[in-house]
Amino acid sequence: MSLLQTTAINVFYEIANLARGQVTAHISPESWWENMQQGMVWDLDDFTVNQIGHPYQGNNYFNAGRANGLSFYESAALTAFGSATWEFFGETNHASLNDFINTTLGGITLGEVFHRVGWLIRDTGKTGKGRLWSEIGATAVDPITGINRFMSGDSSRVTEKPSDLVPASIGGVVSAGALWRGSQSSAFTGKGTPFIESDFYYGDTNVGRSRTPYDAFWLRMRFGGGSAVSEARLRGRLYGQPIGRGAVNFSVIQTYNYNTNDAYSTGSQAIDAGIGTTLDLSSRTKFWVLGWGGLTVLGAVDSLPLGVTEKPQEQEPKAGQGVSEGPRYYDYGPGSDFGGLARLTHDGRDIALFFYVGRQIYSLDGVRANHFLQQARVDLLFPLHGSIGIGTSGEYFDRRSYYQDPAHTIKTYRYPQLRAYLTWRHR
């Protein structure tokens, strides 16, 4: 059933592309055979399509598995199946290596998070209108599970939630405010840009022995602040093991990253190993810290060839809608990453946050360069009344691109960012 639904999802996307008038949707047995003969290539699609669109499509395949009772890892394999069949048979474009990786790994990460968030929204103990709206809300987040439940009648049945989809704890902060950016050469000029950001903590990656993937994850999303979606960061625990007497916890974490700012636009899929601990500074004050390092399976970073100072305006494709002809102004390659997150909390409320991530991407496709990207951020938060508080943060972006030209050119870009915001906390 899950394989059939995965194929149905591909048919749905194909019909949607046909309806949108995409030239690449005119598939035929000839295009399938040509794609199979050609094999996989790098594609030239838009950054957002590749780094957000494909992972979202992959999340649908993944949840075709989860909705039909498959485990996390079984659904992961199903995602690879859906992704590969789409690449070869869903479009006339040649099958794309970067799409296959982004759809599969990004789809697994987004898929399991959406599936779990859907089960948080869904209130299976209720009946009537309240129940219906909770099912509709969950369907908006995880459409495949939702549609399956409406079709089978599970959406109105009163049952217990599956125990493995109930988190040990949840917490989060939503902040809204303004953001001021500096530039390579000047301090903070110009007016502030509005933004909304949410940090959501599902379970605790620093606690307990875990063999249930994504029983703990951290999700950060920022809308506005320079672009529609300026940051999306997901870190889901695949494996957790206390070390020694349990004071320190080892974890394996799968991550999805998307970040666009003035210094760089980057997106990546990575697997990290992390060490974390929580220190009780007093009965009410805790210091939570997690450090990690790992492999970036595939990363993308915007990049201009040497001698080009500005990205040219995109032209309407001559070959028709949906056909990307390039040039593409970002690079693809594997790499490594490392970083840390520290939280100082008082009565469960964040008082100070520190976040750092460094990422290296070795370009295999695009401009020949080795890119090193860093981001450091400090937040200070103050409670005002009840769940409401205020906060301020300072952030610093640094980018170095080491070009593999005869002159070994190194280009750097760095800029600071300041933020002031109101917060609303959920516990």
Shortest distance in whole angstroms from residue 349 CB to other proteins: 40
Which position among 23, 77, 221, 390 is part of the footprint of other proteins (CB under 8 A)? 77
Q: Copy the structure tokens of residue 276.
A: 């974390």
**Between residues 40 and 273, which has the closer beta carbon with respect to other proteins?**
40
Positions in 316-335 near other proteins (CB under 8 A): 333-334
The answer to the question of residue 133 lying near other proteins (CB under 8 A) is no
Longest Cα–Cα distance in the chain: 70
Confirm if 96 and 43 have CB atoms less than 8 A apart.
yes
- Say which amino acid occupies 256: Y
Which position among 290, 298, 357, 369 is part of the footprint of other proteins (CB under 8 A)? 298
Which position among 9, 67, 80, 207 is part of the footprint of other proteins (CB under 8 A)? 80
**Between residues 6 and 393, which has the closer beta carbon with respect to other proteins?**
6
Eight-state DSSP code of residue 213: T
Picking from 397, 285, 316, the residue whose alpha carbon sits closest to that of residue 23 is 316
Taking the C-alpha atoms of residue 358 and residue 272, their distance in angstroms, rounded to an integer, is 13
Positions in 218-237 near other proteins (CB under 8 A): none
Confirm if 117 and 38 have CB atoms less than 8 A apart.
no
Shortest distance in whole angstroms from residue 389 CB to other proteins: 42
Shortest distance in whole angstroms from residue 75 CB to other proteins: 9
SS (H, E, C) 265-284: EEEEEEEEEEEEEEEECCCC
Interface stretch with other proteins, choices 78-86, 142-150, 279-287, 411-419 (CB under 8 A): 78-86
Phi then psi for residue 99, to 5 deg, are -65, -40
Residue 68's contacts (CB-CB under 8 Å, 6 or more residues apart) are: 1, 2, 5, 148
Interface stretch with other proteins, choices 15-23, 74-82, 231-239, 374-382 (CB under 8 A): 74-82
Q: Copy the structure tokens of residue 14.
A: 């194909």
Phi then psi for residue 13, to 5 deg, are -65, -40
**Which of helix, strand or coil describes residue 132?**
helix
The answer to the question of residue 13 lying near other proteins (CB under 8 A) is no
The answer to the question of residue 40 lying near other proteins (CB under 8 A) is yes
Shortest distance in whole angstroms from residue 70 CB to other proteins: 8
**Between residues 117 and 298, which has the closer beta carbon with respect to other proteins?**
298
**Between residues 239 and 413, which has the closer beta carbon with respect to other proteins?**
239
Positions in 364-393 near other proteins (CB under 8 A): 364-365, 368
Distances (CA, A) of 167 to 163, 220, 246, 289: 9, 18, 20, 20
Which position among 31, 57, 104, 134 is part of the footprint of other proteins (CB under 8 A)? 104
Interface stretch with other proteins, choices 113-121, 172-180, 230-238, 359-367 (CB under 8 A): 359-367
Which position among 9, 25, 97, 290 is part of the footprint of other proteins (CB under 8 A)? 97
Confirm if 47 and 302 have CB atoms less than 8 A apart.
yes
Q: How many CB atoms lie within 10 A of CB 185?
A: 6
Binding residues for other proteins (CB under 8 A): 2-3, 37-42, 71, 73-74, 76-78, 80-81, 84, 97, 100-101, 104, 297-298, 333-334, 363-365, 368
